[in-house]
Amino acid sequence: MLYLGLVVAFIGSIVLTPLVKRLAFRVGAVDRPNYRKVHARVMPRLGGLAIFCAFLIGYLVARPDNPAAVPLLIGALVIVITGVFDDMREITAKAKLLGQFLAAGIVVVWGDLQITFINLPFGGQLDFGYLSIPLTIVWIIAITNAVNLIDGLDGLAAGVSTIAMISLAGMAFIMGDMFVLVMASLLIASTLGFLFYNFHPAKIFMGDTGALFLGFIISVLALMGFKNVTAVALIIPIIILGVPISDTFFAIVRRLRAKQPLSAADKSHLHHCLLRTGFSHSQTVLIIYGIAALFGLAALLFSQATVWGAVLLVTVMLIVIELFVEVIGLAGQNYRPLLNLFRANRKATEKH
């Protein structure tokens, strides 16, 4: 039934997206151009509803057996409703956060999905105790919003999310977690169908409905696959989600340096920086796809490495990320501590 579910989800997404496009115009769920937006015309932005409906239909056909499925789907429904209201009426940040908190609370409390402890790499155990519920909720909300932040170019969030889900599905296959594998595969099929209409030049945007839904499902499935494991293994979903997490982290750094509110909007996200460098719209999206794929490959290597090998891999990754960020100006044009250090060392060497 899995293969039939995947086919139904994929075809369902292709069939439903044009219908949702018409609905978006009818209910006023449109994205109008402004100084922060890349597009130059009014665009429908309710596309995430097609992804969710296709995913749900695929699930009903595949019917993976797991008690966590119902809380996950109810939480997803709450997050989708939140996104639909935002796409139609642009609700306040507090109202959006409330919807995310409710959705996360459903899967954490009802679905009993909690990071209760991690086994430390050199012995011992870190027990989170009463902090397990709030920490898990914070993780879900953080990843949900991280995916939402990268939704700035045609096909970007959908493609990066698909690559992340492929990585999660691969890890679930290796670990023998069939539920995560099936749910991730259904989401991949649904999102790929939507990408036919969303890749540049896009005919419809996924909107907050899609970005919040994808971020929510990815964050929950990542926890299902890696909760209550070693500290090293818990880093795997963080690596898989390296693109949205890095973009969000350096957005925070950028705003702290500029003494701006963390919620302030700007045009200095990863895709903005690459566009300013001179890459075209499609090239920028494909470059970020490539970066996301590299993160996925790194996660696979990380999962098979020894503890010291994992430490070395993470160290190299952090240095490469930092250099890349400084070169493209992701944390601000004057933020170049590592490059300045290299220049200072080179000048010192030349003097001697």
Residues at the binding site are 148, 208
Q: Residues 250, 331: contact at Cβ < 8 Å?
A: yes
Tell me the H-state helices in the chain: 2-27, 48-62, 69-89, 93-105, 132-149, 156-175, 178-198, 207-226, 231-240, 242-257, 270-277, 281-304, 307-328, 337-351
What angle do the packed helices 48-62 and 207-226 form, to 10 degrees?
A: 40
Which residues contribute to the annotated binding site for Mg(2+)?
148, 208
Taken in order 262, 263, 268, 274, the sign of the CA dihedral is positive
> Most distant CA pair in the chain: distance in Å?
71
265 token code pair = 């909007």
51 token code pair = 């992804």
- Using CA atoms, how far residue 155 sits from 24, 150, 193, 203, 306, in Å, is 18, 10, 12, 10, 36
Q: How many C-beta atoms surround the C-beta of residue 278 within 10 A?
A: 8
